[in-house]
């Protein structure tokens, strides 16, 4: 995932520091190759029910991931760098963000209700057979709940705690090193 496009402003003589806000994440679609799962687990031929289970998980995850990535907004990201401006002459500035976990610089929509959305799709005849999840003897709901909760925790406890790599910004600086610019879309979530 790339990130950037923050509105950054700051000042400094020699050493320049600033703060950025806004911006976005540019994330490729989340793809769960449900056909490859059967091969990887040693079951290259999977049942119609298993195919539906995996296909619907892939569809729900793709939508949730896209919604999550589009909800991220960066706030108070620190940038440090240098400037060629002096107290009386203009110049330029060049800076990079301080690498921190994504959760400390971005707000986002939480992923929730994943298992319910997955179960709702399983209850339809879309993508294959209809699952009878409301029968008390059916334990598929327990499995979808466990997987859904695990994925939701992964978004908060793994992805949001991932560090972000360097995102750069440069631009003109007025006398005193005062400058602002839009950061490039060159940062990455590691």
Angle of helix 140-154 relative to helix 114-122, nearest 10 degrees, comes to 140
Q: Which residues fall within 8 angstroms of residue 33, CB to CB, at 6 or more apart? A: 58
pLDDT value of residue 129:
85
pTM above 0.85, yes or no: no
Number of domains in the chain: 1
| Cβ(114)–Cβ(60) below 8 Å | yes
pLDDT by 10s per residue, the chain, length 190: 899 999 999 999 999 999 999 999 898 887 777 666 655 666 666 778 888 888 888 889 889 888 888 888 899 999 999 999 999 999 999 999 988 888 888 887 778 899 999 999 999 988 778 888 888 888 899 999 999 999 888 887 887 788 888 899 999 999 999 999 999 999 988 7
CB-count exposure of residue 31 (10 Å: 0-12, 13-18, 19+): exposed
- For residues 156 and 147, give the distance between their C-alpha atoms in angstroms, rounded to a whole number: 15
Residue 16: what pLDDT? 98
Angle between helices 48-71 and 140-154 (to 10 degrees): 30
Q: How far apart (Å, rounded) are the C-alpha atoms in residues 1 and 29?
A: 10
Q: What values do phi and psi take at 3, rounded to 5?
A: -145, 160
Write down the pLDDT at residue 43: 61
- pLDDT for position 31: 78
Domain coverage including residue 173: 2-188
Give the model's pLDDT for residue 185.
Answer: 95
Q: Which residues of 85-120 are buried (b: 16+ CB within 10 A; e: fewer)?
A: beeeebbbbbbbbeeeebeebbebeebeebbebbbe
């Amino acid at each position: 995932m790339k990130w950037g496009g923050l509105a950054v402003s700051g000042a400094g003589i020699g050493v320049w520091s600033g703060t950025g806000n806004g911006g976005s994440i540019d994330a490729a679609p989340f793809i769960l190759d449900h056909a490859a799962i059967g091969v990887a687990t040693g079951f290259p031929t999977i049942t119609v029910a298993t195919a539906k289970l995996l296909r619907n998980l892939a569809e729900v995850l793709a939508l949730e991931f896209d919604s999550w990535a589009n909800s991220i907004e960066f706030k108070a990201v620190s940038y440090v760098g240098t400037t060629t401006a002096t107290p009386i002459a203009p110049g330029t500035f060049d800076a990079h963000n301080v690498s921190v976990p994504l959760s400390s610089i971005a707000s986002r929509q939480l992923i929730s209700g994943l298992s319910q959305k997955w179960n709702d799709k399983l209850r339809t005849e879309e993508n294959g057979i209809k699952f009878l999840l409301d029968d008390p003897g059916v334990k598929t709901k327990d499995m979808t709940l466990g997987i859904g909760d695990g994925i939701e925790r992964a978004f908060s406890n793994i992805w949001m705690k991932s560090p972000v790599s360097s995102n750069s910004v440069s631009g003109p600086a007025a006398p005193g090193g005062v400058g602002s610019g839009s950061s490039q879309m060159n940062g990455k979530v590691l």
